[in-house]
Amino acid sequence: MKRCRLTRFNIFFVWVTLLIGTYTLCGKWIQNLIGNSNKNVKDTIHLVAVSCGRPNYQGVRDIRKPLDLTLTMVKSAVLFAQSPLHVHIFTEDDMMPLFEAELSSWSKTKRERFKYKLYQANYDEYLPPSLVKDWKKWYKPCGSFRLFLPMILKDVTDAAIYTDSDVVFLKPIDQLWQQFASFNERQVASISPTAGHPLRGSRYNENFISHSSGLFQVNTGIMMMNFTRMLNSKWRVFYDEKDETAEAERMTYGVELLLKYYEKYKDKAEHDQKLLNIMYHYNPDLLRQLSCSWNFKNNFCSDENNVCSDAESLEGASAVHGITSAFFGDVNPTFRALYEAFLKFDMLEGDPHELLQTFKSQLLSKAQGTYCAEKSDVISRPLARSVKNLMTSTMNK
């Protein structure tokens, strides 16, 4: 029988094996030790909005309307959220005290699952002085500021849901947040199409984004944004797609990339939504298409030529987006009824059943006979379920 010789290699191999085993065990022990605190951080949903004063029909700057819109959107998210919710609002100096006065009262009653932070929407930190004025009023005041969110919030959260102010959530925002887990390894964001059907056009047209279902354009009223991926991915810069030998320059997301696209397409992109549409045209692999049910717009409830099939199903709409001032005037009485029901709801003392009752009574008095009112169950069904679930969870506490 040969005797086992303990060479230097054998000793080194045994030492490395023991080291790896010890490291693995310690790692698991540390992970178990801090697991609870990390779980809370991961389960926190981050919601972002940008809200600035805007001129009214008389040209006078109005802060009440954008303030009410933003607070109503946040109210709908907070009311139905099942996980801790951290809201980030970027606004102007004179609007901060008004937001603070309202939100601070909510946080006292919902301290366990609602936090907020107010920021100044300061373009000076990201743009050269010559562009600040143009970007701040680009389409609507401060609307383009959302393009800077990945750079601003990268150290606060890995991802967030951005929403326009004119949005009302009908379902728990948790259901949307959970969709981050469905991103493939390349996707950095999820945005819904502006139409409920594929669009006709050329795939070389920078206004369209290619998808397995056909060409589409985005409506950026709600965006799921993975900041870490957005900043780490290599984005293609515009190039001649018809030239099969052409290679696109690639850049990371940031002000330099945004300005490169802006300088090229500023005459065609009348607002930042168009700019994002063009950017994703050249980078379709980075974008996941979000269901239109999470961005149920006024034009999905106007006629049969443009419908959101996902919302028409038994599940109904998930979030209503009042584009073209659909929450005001006579543009869409059904949308207005929904908005006013949430606007008037008292977060401190209100009974959630009032939301559904108020919405239905407004439908009868102001929207009867209109196209959208005839299919209002797309809104009332999910709202009724959310109210019922909220009341059940409240009773069980």
| Distance of alpha carbon 294 from alpha carbon 335, whole angstroms | 15
Q: Topology of 42-293 in CATH?
A: Spore Coat Polysaccharide Biosynthesis Protein SpsA; Chain A (3.90.550)
Among 38-52, 97-111, 154-168, 241-255, the least confident range: 38-52
| Distance of alpha carbon 237 from alpha carbon 234, whole angstroms | 9
Dump pLDDT digits (tens) for 311-331.
998 799 999 999 999 999 999
* pLDDT-based confidence at residue 257 (cuts at 50, 70, 90): very high
Q: Is the pLDDT of residue 23 over 50?
A: no
Q: Is the pLDDT of residue 19 over 60?
A: no
Question: Identity (one letter) of the amino acid at 262?
Answer: Y
Q: Is the pLDDT of residue 57 over 50?
A: yes
Q: State residue 354's pLDDT score.
A: 93
Q: State residue 271's pLDDT score.
A: 87
Q: Is the pLDDT of residue 58 over 80?
A: no
Q: State residue 11's pLDDT score.
A: 52
Q: State residue 32's pLDDT score.
A: 34
Q: State residue 36's pLDDT score.
A: 33
Q: State residue 365's pLDDT score.
A: 92
Q: State residue 337's pLDDT score.
A: 97
Tell me the mean pLDDT in the region 345-362: 93
Write down the mean pLDDT value for the chain: 88
Q: Is the pLDDT of residue 115 over 60?
A: yes
Percent of the chain with pLDDT over 70: 87
* List of residues 6+ apart from 95 with CB closer than 8 A: 51, 52, 53, 63, 66, 67
Where are the chain's structural domains?
42-293, 297-385
Q: Is the pLDDT of residue 28 over 70?
A: no
Percent of the chain with pLDDT over 90: 69
Q: State residue 24's pLDDT score.
A: 44
